[in-house]
Amino acid sequence: MTPEGWLENARRVESPNQDDRPAGSEISLLVVHSISLPPGEYGGDAIERFFTNRLDPKAHPYFQEIAGMRVSAHFLVRRDGELVQFVPVLKRAWHAGVSSWRGRSACNDFSVGVELEGTDAGSFEEAQYQALEKLIARLRKALPLRDIAAHSDVAPGRKTDPGAGFAWAPFLARLSQA
């Protein structure tokens, strides 16, 4: 990892939707999300365009609904396992919104956000689990990550991702063996 918080093996597509974390923030949480744009469609550059404020609202009817939103994540894991980084981990990405974890609000302040290309109604690819496992191992070497949570865990009632298709039990078992 670079001193600024970029991973060398990730493709970098820098998002303007980031800012400084509050002074003294300990990055202890990783939040797992899912996203596909348009919903249910994979591939293409719509997610990258969305996180960099370049999504054409005329390109798809759903894009009109999200036009003007300013969001980002630190990482995106594509269906084939490709890792894309939008925000250095030492900066705050705008991924969790109104959120709380174990009594602490504003999860963006102390978390890393990882989007998996997918939907909360579908399953994920083995390549994504492998890439996420490697990413977490690398991040744990540089950051005091202690917890991993779903977006639905930090924003219950508001968010449902990554959804029931994310195989939490086998994934967490793999992490514990690493």
**Residue numbers annotated as active site:** 115
Report residue 159 as tokens.
């968010």
Nearest Cα neighbor of 90 from 137, 32, 24, 33 is: 24
Question: DSSP letters of 117-171?
Answer: ES-TTS---HHHHHHHHHHHHHHHHHS---EEEEHHHHSTTT---S-TTS-HHHH
